[in-house]
Amino acid sequence: MVVKHDTRYPTPQHLRSISFLGNVDYKGEMEKITEGSEHIVKVLLDNTDPRPIWIQAWGGPNTIARALKSIEEKHPDRMPEVAKKLRFFFIWEQDDSYQNYILPVWGKYNILTIISDQFEAIAYRWEKAQPDHVRPYFEAPWMKENILNGHGPLCSLYKAHGNGKFRSEGDSPAFMHQIQVGLRGLEHPDWGTWGGRYIKVRANTWMDSVPIEGYQHPAKWHDKTGWGINALRNKIKSTPEQRHVYFKPIWQWAEAFQNDFAARADWCVMPYDQANHAPIVKVKGKLNITAKPGKRIKLDASKSSDPDGDQLNFRWWQYAEAGSYKGNVALNGSDQAHASFIIPADAKSGDTLHFICDVTDNGTPALTRYQRVVVTVK
């Protein structure tokens, strides 16, 4: 049924053909060559596609480490080539293979590496990580109505809690980071996507922004050292405000990505003309702009459309956390397809300002897509 809504959905046969068991004998084992490690080697050595390759670890990265070790042993001349296109997104460091092998051997190549702790925004302790207005999208009534009941055999097997409340999908931000919704964050970890927003802490390693002045990230970011997990476990002192700020890079998109989840559940049982599909956001002109203080920048998303013919609602807003200019910028027409603003007089050369265009349809569930305009002050 879902392929009627999006032809890109893979078949079960295709998914089985690219699923392999990796290094699972014990935590951190990376000596054995496995089907999983060999498939990673195959993908990394394939030079027919120039695009970056994101490799995620939702547990320990030891299968990844084994693959890289195989390349080091058998194809040492290709290590720079492989490293250039490689990107990492780790949900914590859940074994020692990153510290003991990947960093010492491959660290010289400065591979872009995201190590996330803020995934806890939708993990086991989500009720303590989210503010009040977000939690209804994870509570039992919403889950039962939108996912668990009346959405076919697959959704009926979805592992919610016994009362229907959302059960942890904490590793999902690694995947959500890859979903192309218009936020343009894949090559800029500090720009922010549904999978969170991160800051560079050393070399090309990106971790969570901790809301404590002068905070120093530890060498390893795991369940014993991550600030967020220890704040949620009450092992360190924190305030609700600090926790909400820390996890905001993910929970701020919760309504949109949970509604997207609900729409895909509908696709399991509804024909195309009865289900909702996401709008297509188009912003006229350049998405990266360079301009001087005092210049008025005009924003135009009037060419945006909806595949179902739904009415579109526009919201332009400044994503201050993603830009280096932290002052507030007044937006004229922030709820219209056309908006504008004046670059502040106190903005300095090199400052960046990020503006997000949210476009939400009036379908059920309401779906949102985005476009980002980045202004660099000259």
Cis peptide before 10 (omega within 30 of 0): no
Q: Residue 122: exposed, middle, or buried by beta-carbon count in 10 A (0-12, 13-18, 19+)? A: buried
Mean of all residue pLDDT scores within the chain: 97
% pLDDT > 70, the chain: 100
pLDDT mean over 195-208: 97
Identify the band that residue 179 occupies on the pLDDT scale cut at 50, 70 and 90: very high
**CA–CA gap between residue 140 and residue 123 (Å, rounded):** 16
pLDDT mean over 295-308: 98
pLDDT at 25 over 90: yes
- Backbone Cα Rg of the chain: 22
Reference 68, options 35, 101, 99; nearest CA is 101
pLDDT at 67 over 80: yes
pLDDT mean over 256-275: 97
Tokens for 12, please give them: 């079960």
pLDDT mean over 64-81: 98
Sorted by where each starts, the structural domains of the chain and their CATH numbers stand as 2-110 (no CATH), 119-251 (no CATH), 276-377 (2.60.40.10)
pLDDT at 2 over 90: no
Cis peptide before 365 (omega within 30 of 0): yes
pLDDT at 1 over 80: no
pLDDT of residue 169: 85
pLDDT of residue 132: 96
pTM: 0.95
pLDDT of residue 187: 85
pLDDT mean over 169-183: 95
Task: Please state the φ and ψ torsions of residue 291, each to the nearest 5 degrees.
Answer: -155, 160
